[in-house]
Structure 1
């Protein structure tokens, strides 16, 4: 699969960010001399991966070269990437076919009705770009102002970073926001050139200093189940467990259901 210049630049930046977070001690290399940059040198990483240092430099510089699966997996191992980061690397290198963008994102009527049936449990369905495609009243109350915009679809990423109420509701705001941005990067990597992602990311960068600071760190993460501490007016801080289900015919559409656990003293 041919890669575009912006995709190659993303690949180079992702490799560089991961190279800079690995220390010589982590991979059993001796520390020699002063280092101008953090992490491994390009030559050291190339040695660990068993490839030419010049060839690796071209790859990190975003030159139009084709990396094989063998080389990419060797780099992933040398960089100690987890499975989500490894998948993101392969996506950026053009080793997976990106789906054609769809706009607006369709949602089957049967699926749209599910959050309503789950009341009183807060529930919503989000698309690949975190647009809120369907939700129930409990979700609207749990995340105030999430669905208030009349000129465009509600968007959970936009709410987290640009809605002031989010920093009050999400007790662990930075942890939650970093995780969401990492998941958004993972999804964007599957759709290089899709304007839906570029528009959203540009908007978040414009409105959020945290996104401007964190986006270059190239963190990636898959959607998952978990727990959140949410602050409710008049009720204090409450623990919620949430479960995410991918829709069968639209795997990037996700049904998220919250269940209340117990107030936090």
Structure 2
């Protein structure tokens, strides 16, 4: 799409969305004769707390909107997440994450993939490193995630609050620092996330190391690497981990832990898999 086409495209998009939204759905009285279907321009402007002239010029491509104004319009027109991103892209803005989003649920295709990984530990991490799903091998390797209340089922939180995790990782300091750096990156992407704010406040109050490392402002992106673990059943393990992002929801990432065939770590995973299949 050319730059010259953007104002027209933006205006057409806004018109289409407001005409699809009934006054009742927007909380407006539907009495009286209406010349247009859906919301009028002045109604959108009023609900978005901007002037009618401002909104009219925006639809006509004679005015560019700021991000807060785009946020307000997206709210008034009750845009879906995809429509909101499209609105921001048409306006030449980066679509910041909408606030107050509903809790995440693992995508069905990721759930099926987890179930098929019978000998490979894997988890699905969401925003803030929330643990959305796991397979039996991951539970056997780390902990019984099902026994943890859902609101506390967060990987960084477990690293700092579960004594078993400190025993599991011989290089706990390195792992914990990496977790804090990854959480810092999450904060940069969504600084207004109230649950992230609550998590940081809780861990800062409970753990001096977390408080110190959080204040250092080091950042990291989840990608690939290796982890050393000392497991009570599988023994000492060195596992490669890979982080696969789901294109349908980039906030859901499948983390898979594997070992090179023929190594003691590979044998250890087979021992753990046998224990899981027998249970």
Query: Normalising by structure 2, what TM-score?
Result: 0.57
Answer yes or no: is the 8 Å Cα contact 2:106–2:124 preserved in 1: no
1: distance between equivalents of 2:256 and 2:150? 26
Name 2:97's counterpart in structure 1: 99
Partner of 1:197 in structure 2? 196
Displacement of 1:108 after TM fit?
2.0
Measured in 2, the distance between the counterparts of 1:253 and 1:147 equals: 19
Contact 1:178 1:214 in 2 (8 A): yes
Q: What's the RMSD between the two structures over aligned residues?
A: 1.8
Aligned with 2:250: secondary structure?
coil
* Count of residue pairs the alignment pairs up: 170
User: 1:148 maps to what in 2?
Assistant: 147
Whether the 8 Å contact between 1:122 and 1:142 is mirrored in structure 2 is yes
Residue 201 of structure 1 and its aligned partner are, at CA, apart by 1.0
CA deviation after TM superposition for structure 1 residue 224, in Å: 1.0
Deviation at 1:96, TM superposition (A): 4.7
CA distance in 1, matches of 2:132, 2:182: 18
Aligned CA distance change for structure 1 residues 250 and 153 (closer, same or farther; 3 Å): farther
Whether the 8 Å contact between 1:227 and 1:239 is mirrored in structure 2 is: yes
**Could you say what secondary structure the match of 2:179 adopts?**
helix
Deviation at 1:215, TM superposition (A): 0.8
Q: Show structure 2 runs of 5+ residues with no match.
A: 1-92, 266-279
Could you tell me how far apart the structure 2 residues matched to 1:147 and 1:226 are? 26
2:213, 2:98 → 1: CA distance? 28
Sort the Cα spacing of 1:209 and 1:96 in 2 relative to 1 into closer, same or farther, 3 A: farther
Which of the pair has the greater relative contact order for Cα pairs under 8 Å at 6+ separation?
1
Q: 1:150 offset after TM fit, Å?
A: 3.0
| 1:66-95 deviation line (CA, Å, top 9, x unaligned) | xxxxxxxxxxxxxxxxxxxxxxxxxxxxx9
Higher share in helix: 2
Q: How does 1:110-149 map to 2 (within 5 A)?
A: 110-149=109-148
Instruction: For residues 160-191 of structure 1, give each alpha carbon's deviation from its aligned partner in whole angstroms, at most 9, with x where no partner exists.
Output: 11111111111211111111110111111111
Report the equivalent of 2:181: 182
1:166 alignment counterpart? 165
**Larger gyration radius, structure 1 or structure 2:** 2
CA distance in 2, matches of 1:191, 1:96: 13
CA separation in 1, counterparts of 2:196 and 2:133? Answer: 20
CA contact (8 A) 1:98 1:192 kept: no
